[in-house]
Amino acid sequence: MQTYRIPNTDLDVSRLSYGTWHLGGSWDLTPPAPDLYDRADRLVQVAVEQGINMIDLADIYTRGKSDTLIGEVLGRHPSLRDKLILQQKCGIIVGNDPNQGDPGRYDFSYDHIIATVEASLRRLQTDHVEILLLHRPDPLIEPEEVARAFDELHRSGKARYFGVSNHSVWQIELLKRYVTQPLVVNQLELNLIHHYLISDGIVVNQEGYTYTGSDGLLDYCRLNDIMIQAWSPVAGGKMFNPPANAPENVQALGRLIAEMAQQHQTTPEAIAFAWLLRHPAKIQPIVGTMNADRLVDSCKADTVEPSRIEWYRLLAAARGKSVP
Ligand SMILES: NC(=O)c1ccc[n+]([C@@H]2O[C@H](COP(=O)([O-])OP(=O)(O)OC[C@H]3O[C@@H](n4cnc5c(N)ncnc54)[C@H](OP(=O)(O)O)[C@@H]3O)[C@@H](O)[C@H]2O)c1
């Protein structure tokens, strides 16, 4: 698989990354079910066989079970650790943690960031992650605290590079005033159904179109050498074989994806991922399937390059209308 160099790092990452949101199954505090160890092992092996060298994690994913399973895979195959780029996310606390009734919340305090990373490293059976992201913007952020935590993690070698997820232009600017390390990644929701990061750019100052206020975020990231990663890159599979009661644009998109897959002699998944890869911003989608065959089908995107006409045709189908 082709790679991207993440700007301001020495990391060459595969164009597709592999996500672990669903890896641990349930979101309760029980340990991973026994069969999930072998499944995680198989999925990581298939990902590596396909050329993926980056794993996306978050301390909260399946309440730590996703970390634990990746740690177990690394424990079973010690030579794998040096081949993989681990990206961890921190800063979300789920509801009812630690007490029943506690609200879901964000916490970018020094203590929370440090404690989260240290707990994740124990579960991952490693002494560092390559990249640490702030998962979702915390309205109570004190950027000096984030800067202090990043400095400490950088100094101790527990995290080599830093970035954000779901952050706006101005939230990144605020952080940059205090954080001394470059922010190298912004992980954002982006796919053919949730296309706003791209389509906001073509409806600026136009009446009658959906504008979600991304405020030039895509161009800002390009200008500032921040790699965009696309989360939920196939919108949870909604764009493939949509049911008859799905919105008309989603049905039309499903038909077009199937037709293009036939024309390119590839899979529908490859078309959906190739639409993201075709964008010159060098967007890195994070594959989320727990199905090994679909993982292979998704990686076929690396060899598909939609033409400009095909790219716009997919966008028009997804939006239900052409560009203004
Ligand atoms: N930063 C953030 O806030 C954030 C938020 C969400 C996710 N993420 C990251 O992004 C990764 C990917 O997100 P995601 O899991 O939502 O991605 P996704 O790939 O858009 O969705 C995965 C889901 O779609 C299903 N699916 C995939 N292909 C399908 C197909 N051809 N037909 C039917 N269903 C299909 C999968 O089911 P099967 O498993 O059965 O194939 C799975 O349930 C996560 O693992 C996580 O690392 C980050």
**In this structure, are residues 150 and 162 in contact, taking their beta carbons and an 8 Å threshold?**
yes
- Work out the average pLDDT over 289-306: 98
CA of 125 to the centre of ligand 1 (A): 25
% of residues, the chain, pLDDT over 70: 100
The answer on pLDDT for 264 being more than 90 is yes
- Work out the average pLDDT over 269-289: 98
* Exposed/middle/buried for residue 159 (C-beta within 10 Å: 0-12, 13-18, 19+): buried
The answer on pLDDT for 63 being more than 90 is yes
Question: Which of 31, 32, 27 has its CA nearest to residue 96?
Answer: 27
Pairing of strands 92-93, 105-106: antiparallel
CA of 192 to the centre of ligand 1 (A): 13
The answer on pLDDT for 64 being more than 90 is yes
Task: Please give the pLDDT value at position 257.
Answer: 98
CA–CA gap between residue 240 and residue 269 (Å, rounded)? 8
Per-residue pLDDT reduced to its tens digit, 167-182: 999 999 999 999 999 9
- Work out the average pLDDT over 103-129: 98
Confidence of residue 217 (pLDDT cuts 50, 70, 90): very high
DSSP type of residue 99: S
Question: Which of 21, 25, 102 has its CA nearest to residue 60?
Answer: 21
Segment (H or E) for 85: strand 85-90
Given 61, 106, 161, 196, which residue is catalytic? Answer: 61
Segment (H or E) for 297: helix 292-299
CA-only gyration radius of the chain, Å: 20
Question: Which of 127, 126, 108, 104 has its CA nearest to residue 116?
Answer: 108
DSSP type of residue 88: E
* Exposed/middle/buried for residue 91 (C-beta within 10 Å: 0-12, 13-18, 19+): buried
Residue of the nearest CA to atom 37 in ligand 1?
Answer: 289
Task: Please give the pLDDT value at position 265.
Answer: 98
Segment (H or E) for 4: strand 3-5
Question: Which of 175, 224, 216 has its CA nearest to residue 198?
Answer: 216
Confidence of residue 17 (pLDDT cuts 50, 70, 90): very high
Task: Please give the pLDDT value at position 125.
Answer: 98
Mutational pocket test of ligand 1: of 16, 20, 21, 267, the residue with most ligand atoms within 8 Å of the beta carbon? 21
Active-site residue flag, 220:
no
